[in-house]
């Protein structure tokens, strides 16, 4: 009678251990990793080499004789006479979208001149129009100094000025070099202003991110030492990891020991379980354990060189402990990591 009673109790306990046993495929809410990429000048023909291709000139003119480097510049000049004024700009649409998370650095050179008498006004600016307001100009740099009359001033200007705070939207921006100048009260008076070598160096934030669909696998109730996979003949629950970032990524994968615990191991045993993965995009996963790799509690390679929006299909396979001392359902979470 004792032997029969022990057998019945064993069956009850065995059923309790393995009843309603779910497995969670974890895609944790970790913020995307953001890094910096190399800066690039987003302006076309920034040094006005050989002309003003890429720019639209209003009142300004190309000046092939005066420049900061080895090519021409753009010039605004008033007429000669008393208190003459001129307003104009040199504009272009920035062909590459700028993101609100980008780092944007402004560089350019300018020169001014007042003829015969000091100028009444020498206001020069660099302005942008945002994607949401393409007709509203916002100054991101300005200089209102007015030099004493005489020769043109030496070339000056900001180098690598951080103007990122002005680019707080993502999309297509416009930029213009603007001048509003006025000569002095002299019959020979004149005001002039030049721009050259404009640069808008943009460093795009590299976003490294991965998502997993559908993100949940339920293995259900299993007998001690049994195996089950996500293959079509069993759970039919393949998982897909997708590169949601804007750079090529590498995917890593790891498992975990459970709360009871069950310990991840290479073979199933006393409170030891095996959890395996197979890259179904790169390999034939139809005949486990062929092409399956045992998960461990630290990251190992799942896939490399996954391009933007690229995806990797993943099959999973579990072999549960034999025997188990855990009397509750166990979560055997799997985590996917993206790196650049």
| Rg, the chain, Cα only | 34
The last residue of a domain, from among 184, 203, 222: 203
The last residue of a domain, from among 159, 182, 203: 203
pTM higher than 0.75 for the full model? no
CA 157 to chain centroid: 30
H or E stretch including 17?
helix 2-18
Which CATH number fits the domain that encloses residue 140? 2.60.120.260
Residue 118 and residue 188 in contact, taking contact as beta carbons nearer than 8 Å: no
Which CATH number fits the domain that encloses residue 213? 2.60.40
Find the distance separating the first CA and the last CA of the chain, reported in whole Å: 65
Q: Which domain holds residue 77?
A: 40-203
Instruction: Give the separation between CA 16 and CA 270, rounded to whole angstroms.
Output: 17
221: tokens are: 């109730």
CA 221 to chain centroid: 42
In a domain, 300, yes or no: yes
In a domain, 12, yes or no: no
For position 173, what pLDDT does the model report?
98
In a domain, 2, yes or no: no
For position 3, what pLDDT does the model report?
26
User: Are 143 and 258 within one domain?
Assistant: no
Residues of the chain with pLDDT below 50 are 1-31, 34
For position 10, what pLDDT does the model report?
23
pLDDT 10s digits, 73-115: 999 999 999 999 999 999 999 999 999 989 999 999 999 999 9
For position 35, what pLDDT does the model report?
52
Residue 110 and residue 143 in contact, taking contact as beta carbons nearer than 8 Å: yes
- Give the residues across from 203 on adjacent strands: 103
Strands (E), 153-271: 161-162, 174-182, 190-203, 205-208, 210-213, 227-229, 239-243, 249-254, 263-264
User: Are 181 and 311 within one domain?
Assistant: no
Number of domains in the chain: 2
In a domain, 1, yes or no: no
For position 328, what pLDDT does the model report?
85
Burial readout 254-278 (b: 16 or more C-beta within 10 A, e: otherwise): bbbbbebebebbeebeebbbbbbbb
The last residue of a domain, from among 203, 218, 239: 203
């Amino acid at each position: 009678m004792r032997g029969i009673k022990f057998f019945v109790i064993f069956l009850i306990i065995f059923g309790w251990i393995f009843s309603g046993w779910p497995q969670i495929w974890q895609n944790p809410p970790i913020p995307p990793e953001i890094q910096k990429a190399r800066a690039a000048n987003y302006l076309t023909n920034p040094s006005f080499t050989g002309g003003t291709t890429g720019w639209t000139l209003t009142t300004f003119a190309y000046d092939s004789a005066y420049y900061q480097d080895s090519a021409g510049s753009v010039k605004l000049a008033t007429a000669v006479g008393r208190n003459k004024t001129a307003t104009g700009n040199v504009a272009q649409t920035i062909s590459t979208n700028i993101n609100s998370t980008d780092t944007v650095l402004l560089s350019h050179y300018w020169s001014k001149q007042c003829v015969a008498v000091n100028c009444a006004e020498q206001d020069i600016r660099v302005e942008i129009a945002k994607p949401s307001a393409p007709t509203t100009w916002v100054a991101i740099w300005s200089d209102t100094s007015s030099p004493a009359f005489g020769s043109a001033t030496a070339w000056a200007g900001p180098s690598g000025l951080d103007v990122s705070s002005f680019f707080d939207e993502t999309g297509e921006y416009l930029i213009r070099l603007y001048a509003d100048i006025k000569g002095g009260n002299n019959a020979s008076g004149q005001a002039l202003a030049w721009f050259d070598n404009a640069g808008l160096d943009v460093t795009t934030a590299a976003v490294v991110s991965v998502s997993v669909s559908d993100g949940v696998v339920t293995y259900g109730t299993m007998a001690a030492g049994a195996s089950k996979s996500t293959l079509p003949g069993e759970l039919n629950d393949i998982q897909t990891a997708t590169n949601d970032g804007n750079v090529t990524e590498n995917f890593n994968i790891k498992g975990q020991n459970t709360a009871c615990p069950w310990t991840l191991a290479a073979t199933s045993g006393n409170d030891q379980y095996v959890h395996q993965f197979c890259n179904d995009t790169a390999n034939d996963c139809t005949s486990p354990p062929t092409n399956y790799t045992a998960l461990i509690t630290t990251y190992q390679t799942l896939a490399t060189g996954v391009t933007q929006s690229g995806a990797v299909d993943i099959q999973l396979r579990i072999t549960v402990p034999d025997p188990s001392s855990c009397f509750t359902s166990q979560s055997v979470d799997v985590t996917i990591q993206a790196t650049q």
